[in-house]
C-alpha cells in the first residue's frame, strides 16, 4: 500500500508519562505505516521544557501560528512534588495556559460517543461540546472579608484624568464578604469568534447563555457582544451552513440540555464552563473518552486529549507492570489534527484516513475489545480487557481491514 503524503507540516507537541508512551505506540502502529508523517516536532516533555527554560513551549505555540494546526500530548503542570521529582530550575507554568494565551484561544471539549458506553442521561445521543471562556470573572477577582459595619463602593478612575464614577455595593451594618470581578471586551469578542468559527467548522448549532436578566450590565455585555458579532460577521455563513445560533438564560439552557439529544456546542462563561464541563464529561462516561480542541479566533487549531498524563499508570509501567491505559482520546487528537490538515491542504485521502482510524477505534470497542476503564462501565456483555499495547494493536487490525 502506498503511504499518504502530506504537504504542510503538522506541529507535533510531545508530552509526559503514560501519554508519552501511548504517543509513541500510536505513531508506530497506527500512523507511520499508513501516512508519510510530516510533522515539526517539539518536545514538551518536562525535562526538555526545563532544559530550554520553557522556550520550547513558546516555540511550539509560534509554530502553531505559522502552520495553523497542532496535535499535543498531555503534559505535566509542575507543582511542589514535581519540583523535587524532576529537579526543576523553576515551577514552569502550565503549557496549556501558555499556548492558550499566545493563540488567544478557546477550549472546546467533546465526548467521544460509542455504542456500549451509554451516557447517564438516556436521551443524549450525540456529543455535547462545551466551550469555556477561560478569562476573568471569579477566576481573576478581588475579594475582601468585611469585619464590621462600613460602606463598600465600586470606583472607576479614568486614566485620562476625567471624573471618577462610583456606585455603592453595600452599606454593611455588620460583618460580611465582598467581591469584585471584571472582564474585557477584547476577550469576550475573541471567545465569541472562536465559538462561531468552531460551530461552522464542525457544522453544529451554537448555544450561549448568561444571567442577563439579573446582571443587566455585566452578563448583558456578553449577550450583546455575541449578538453583534453574529449579526455582522456570521449570520449569513450560519444560514449557508444550515446551523443556528441560539441564546437563552443559563437556567433555561441547563433545563433544555437535560432533555436535548446533543449534537451542538454550548458556549459557557468561565464559571459555568468549569462546572458544566465536569458534569457533562462524567455523564458521558469517562474522562479518557473526551477530546479537547483549542480554537483561536484567527482559525488556528490545537488538538489534544482532555485527560492528563495518567501518572498512576506510568509508575506501574516503570515498575514493569502491565497497564491498560485508554488511548482513544489521544488517537482522536491525532485524527482531528490530520483531518484538519487534510482539509486545509486539500488532501482528501488524509482526511479519509482520519475518518477510518476513528471508525476502526470505535469498531474495536463495539466488538467488545477495550481497556479496563471502559470495561468497568460498558453495557457490552463479557468485554475483553486489553493492555495498553494490545488495544492499539486490535485497532490496527480493524484499520487494516477497513483500508483494504
Ligand atoms: P489524569 O492524568 O487525567 O488521571 C486521573 C485518573 O483518571 C487516572 O489516574 C485514571 O484513573 C483516570 N484516567 C485518566 N485518563 C485515563 C486514560 N487515558 N486511561 C485510563 N484511565 C485514565 O489526571 P491527574 O492524575 O490528576 O494528573 C496527572 C498529570 O497530568 C499531572 O501532572 C497534571 O498536571 C497533568 N495534566 C495535564 C493535562 C493536559 O496536558 N492537558 C490535563 C490534566 C492534567 P485510575 O488511576 O483510577 O485508573
Ligand atoms: Mg472543573
Mean pLDDT score of the chain: 95
Buried b (16+ CB within 10 A) or exposed e, 285-312: bbbbbbbbbbbbbeebbbbbbbbbbbee
Q: What is the pLDDT of residues 264-304, one digit of tens each?
A: 999 999 999 988 988 898 888 788 999 999 998 888 999 99
Number of Cβ within a 10 Å radius of residue 55: 11
Q: How far is the CA of 307 from the centre of ligand 1 (A)?
A: 5
* pLDDT score of 337 more than 80: yes
**Higher confidence at residue 118 or residue 337?**
337
* Separation of alpha carbons 229 and 224, rounded Å: 9
Nearest CA to ligand 1 atom 44: 308
State the sign of the Cα–Cα–Cα–Cα dihedral 212, 216, 217, 218.
negative
Average pLDDT over residues 203-222: 97
How far apart, in whole angstroms, are the C-alpha atoms of residue 80 and residue 322? 28
Which among 14, 16, 117, 67 has a CA at the least distance from the CA of 334?
14
Collapsed DSSP state (helix, strand, coil) of residue 188: helix
Q: Rounded mean pLDDT of 14-20?
A: 98
Cα–Cα nearest to 332, from 116, 152, 172, 108: 108
Cell of 345: 491542504
Q: How far apart are CA 220 and CA 214, in angstroms?
A: 9
pLDDT at 326: 97
CA of 277 from ligand 2 middle (Å) equals: 6
pLDDT value at position 125?
Answer: 92
3-state SS, residue 179: strand
Residue recorded with cell 526538555: 48
Confidence of residue 135 (pLDDT cuts 50, 70, 90): confident
Distance from residue 278's CA to the centre of ligand 2 (Å): 5
C-alpha to C-alpha distance for 316 and 264, rounded to whole angstroms = 38
**How far is the CA of 319 from the CAs of 17, 131, 313, 352, in angstroms?**
13, 38, 10, 39
Gap from CA of 183 to ligand 1 centroid (Å): 31
pLDDT in tens, 68-82: 999 999 999 999 999
Residues whose beta carbon lies within 6 Å of some atom of ligand 1: 74-77, 96, 287-288, 304, 307-312, 325-326, 373
Which residue has a Cα nearest atom 27 of ligand 1?
308
Count, in order, helices (H) and strands (E) of the chain. Answer: 15, 18
Closest ligand to residue 276's CA: 2
Give the closest residue (by CA) to ligand 1 atom 4. 310
Q: Measure 289 CA to ligand 2 centroid, in angstroms.
A: 16
Which residues lie closer than 8 Å to 178 by C-beta, 6 or more apart?
A: 143, 144, 146, 152, 169, 170
Query: DSSP class of residue 207?
Result: E
C-alpha–C-alpha distance, residues 394 and 398, integer Å:
7
Question: Residue 264: what pLDDT?
Answer: 97
The confidence score (pLDDT) of residue 278 equals 83
**What does the alpha-carbon distance between residue 293 and residue 296 come to, in Å, rounded to a whole number?**
10
Ligand located closest to 271 CA: 2
- Residue indicated by cell numbers 451554537: 206
**Integer angstrom CA distances of residue 74 from 77, 94, 363, 391:** 10, 11, 25, 19
Q: Give CA–CA dist 136/184, Å, rounded.
A: 8
Kindly identify the ligand whose nearest atom is closest to the C-alpha of 333.
Answer: 1
Residue 217 to residue 81: CA distance in whole angstroms = 43
Please state the atom number of ligand 1 nearest to the C-alpha of residue 77. Answer: 34
Indicate whether 214 pLDDT > 90: yes
**71: three-class secondary structure by DSSP:** strand
pLDDT of residue 70: 98
Output the residue whose Cα is nearest ligand 1's atom 33: 76
Report the nearest atom of ligand 1 relative to the CA of 326. 19
Q: Taking the model in full, what pTM does it have? A: 0.91
- C-alpha grid cell, residue 206: 451554537
Segments of 73-199 assigned E as strands: 106-111, 128-132, 142-146, 150-156, 165-172, 176-180
Query: φ, ψ for residue 142 (rounded to 5)?
Result: -125, 130
Residue 1: pLDDT above 80? no
* Mutation choice for ligand 1 from 307, 365, 372, 391, CB with most ligand atoms inside 8 A: 307
Q: What is the mean pLDDT of residues 195-214?
A: 96
309, 316, 332: which to mutate for ligand 1, most atoms within 8 A of CB? 309
Q: Give the number of the ligand closest to the Cα of residue 77.
A: 1
| Of 275 and 339, more confident | 339
Mean pLDDT of 378-395: 97
Distance 16 CA to ligand 2 centre (A): 22
Ligand with minimal distance to 22 CA: 1
Amino acid at each position: 500500500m502506498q503511504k499518504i503524503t502530506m504537504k504542510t507540516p503538522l506541529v507535533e507537541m510531545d508530552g509526559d508519562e503514560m501519554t508519552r508512551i501511548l504517543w509513541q505506540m500510536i505513531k508506530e502502529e497506527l500512523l507511520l505505516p499508513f501516512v508519510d508523517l510530516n510533522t515539526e516536532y517539539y518536545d514538551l516533555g518536562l525535562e526538555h521544557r526545563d532544559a530550554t527554560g520553557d522556550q520550547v513551549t513558546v516555540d511550539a505555540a509560534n509554530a502553531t501560528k505559522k502552520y495553523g494546526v497542532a496535535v499535543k500530548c498531555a503534559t505535566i503542570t509542575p507543582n511542589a512534588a514535581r519540583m523535587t521529582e524532576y529537579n526543576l530550575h523553576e515551577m514552569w507554568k502550565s503549557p496549556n495556559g501558555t499556548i492558550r494565551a499566545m493563540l488567544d484561544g478557546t477550549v472546546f471539549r467533546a465526548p467521544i460517543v460509542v455504542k456500549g458506553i451509554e451516557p447517564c442521561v438516556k436521551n443524549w445521543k450525540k456529543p455535547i461540546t462545551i466551550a469555556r471562556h477561560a478569562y476573568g470573572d471569579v477566576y481573576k477577582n478581588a475579594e475582601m472579608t468585611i469585619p464590621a459595619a462600613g460602606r463598600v463602593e465600586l470606583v472607576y478612575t479614568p486614566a485620562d484624568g476625567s471624573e471618577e464614577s462610583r456606585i455603592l455595593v453595600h452599606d454593611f451594618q455588620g460583618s460580611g464578604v465582598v467581591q469584585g470581578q471584571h472582564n474585557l471586551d477584547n476577550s469576550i469578542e475573541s471567545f465569541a469568534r472562536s465559538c462561531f468559527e468552531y460551530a461552522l467548522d464542525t457544522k453544529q448549532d451554537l448555544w450561549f447563555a448568561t444571567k442577563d436578566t439579573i446582571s443587566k450590565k455585566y452578563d448583558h455585555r456578553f449577550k450583546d457582544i455575541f449578538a453583534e458579532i453574529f449579526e455582522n460577521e456570521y449570520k449569513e455563513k450560519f444560514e449557508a451552513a444550515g446551523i443556528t445560533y441560539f441564546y437563552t438564560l443559563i437556567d433555561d439552557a441547563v433545563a433544555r440540555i437535560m432533555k436535548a439529544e446533543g449534537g451542538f456546542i454550548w458556549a459557557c462563561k468561565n464559571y459555568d464552563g468549569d462546572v458544566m464541563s465536569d458534569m457533562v464529561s462524567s455523564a458521558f462516561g469517562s474522562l479518557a473518552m473526551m477530546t479537547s480542541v483549542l480554537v483561536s479566533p484567527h482559525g488556528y487549531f490545537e488538538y489534544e486529549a482532555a485527560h492528563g498524563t495518567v501518572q498512576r499508570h506510568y509508575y506501574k509501567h516503570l515498575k514493569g507492570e502491565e497497564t491498560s491505559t485508554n488511548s482513544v482520546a489521544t488517537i482522536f487528537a491525532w485524527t482531528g489534527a490530520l483531518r484538519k490538515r487534510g482539509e486545509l491542504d486539500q488532501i482528501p485521502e488524509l482526511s479519509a484516513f482520519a475518518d477510518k482510524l476513528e471508525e476502526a477505534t470505535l469498531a474495536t470497542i463495539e466488538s467488545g475489545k477495550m481497556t479496563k476503564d471502559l470495561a468497568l462501565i460498558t453495557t457490552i456483555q463479557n468485554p475483553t480487557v486489553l493492555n495498553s499495547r494490545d488495544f492499539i494493536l486490535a485497532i490496527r487490525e480493524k484499520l487494516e481491514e477497513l483500508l483494504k
